[in-house]
Amino acid sequence: MIEKIKLLINDKKREFEVDLEEPLLYILREDANLYGPKYGCGMGQCGACMVLVDGRAQPSCLLTCGNLHEAKIKTIEGLAKNGNPHPLQEAFFEVQAAQCGYCLNGMLISAVSLLEENPSPSISEIKEALNRVLCRCGTHSRFIKAVQLASEKSQNA
């Protein structure tokens, strides 16, 4: 069924006419012109499509628009504050946490969600938080390092 839905995407109010069954992922990429969330499996198995919904990391390939009315969505494009990149974005760059980078969106979103809830996670908590996101290039150790770095920096700030 085609209907109008309202979303708050990266702090901007947006309205879309959509098929209520359509997963959020396609709305974000095709209508909201965002590049961050990616298609990887469409089945909730890989995390390439992660976004923050009301602050929590969720795979956007499984979220159908019908269930999202007025939800607060954040993608990696909306992480910067006052023009400054998010500390995790800085940390990912600093430790060069990417090879091909296809999974980077999911890793970054999961990390943001983790640090919101738990500003100084242990290694195993970091691993657990990133476990939903799949990386084929084997960059895992750097993602873990980047989260540690961002967390340390915010503790010392």
Partner 1 sequence: MTSPNSPNSSRRSFLKNTGQLLIGFNLLPLTFCQSKSEILDGGISSGSQVRSSMGSDIIDSWIRLDAEGKVTVLTGKMELGQGIRTALMQMAAEELDVNMDIVTIINGDTGQTADEGYTAGSGTIERSGASIRKAAAEAKFFMVNMASEKWDESPENLSVKNGLIQSKNGKHKISYWELLDGKFLEGKVTGNAPLKNPKDHTLVGKGILREDIRKMAQGEAFFVHDLRLPEMVHARVLRPPSYGSILIDLDKESVLALPGVLKLVVDGRFIAVIAKREYQAIKALEFLKSAAKWQTEPLSPQQADLFSEMKKKSLPPQQVEEAKHINTIIGNSPQILEATYLRPYQMHASAGPSCAVAEWKDGKLTVWTPTQGVYPLRSTLSDFLGIDTKDIRCIGLPGSGCYGHNGADDVSADAAFIARSFPGKPVRVQWMREDEHAWEPYGSAMLLKLKAGLDASGKITGWDCGIWSDTHSTRPGGKAGHFIAARHLEKPFEFQPGGFSGGSYRNSSPLYNIPSKNIVLHNYKGPLRTSALRGLGAYGNIFALESFMDELANLAAIDPFEFRIKNLDNPRAIEVIKTLKSKCNWENRDQSGRVGYGLAFAQYKNSASYFAVVAEIHKSPTGGKFRLHKLTGVIDSGQCINPDGLKNQTEGGMIQSASWTIMEAVQYDANGITSKDWNSYPIMRTNDVPEVEVHIIDRPKEKPLGAGEAAQGPVAAAIVNALSSLLDKRVYELPLKDYFV
Name which of 26 and 71 has its Cβ closer to partner 1.
26
CA distances from 17 to 7, 63, 74 (A): 11, 16, 20
Residue 26 interacts with, from ligand FES, partner 1, none (CB under 5-8 Å by kind): partner 1
CA distances from 22 to 2, 11, 25, 88 (A): 10, 22, 8, 30
Question: CB under 8 Å to 157, separation ≥6 — which residues?
Answer: none
Cα–Cα dist 77/57, whole Å: 15
Binding span for ligand FES by CB under 6 A among 35-43, 66-74, 78-86, 109-117: 35-43
The site for partner 1 (CB under 8 A) is made up of 19, 22-23, 26, 29-30, 33-36, 38-43, 45-46, 48, 75-77, 79-80, 85, 89, 92-94, 96-105, 108, 126-128, 130-131, 133-144
Residue with token string 């939903």: 132
The residues of the shown chain that bind ligand FES, judged by CB under 6 A, are 39-42, 44-49, 59, 61, 98-103, 135-137, 139
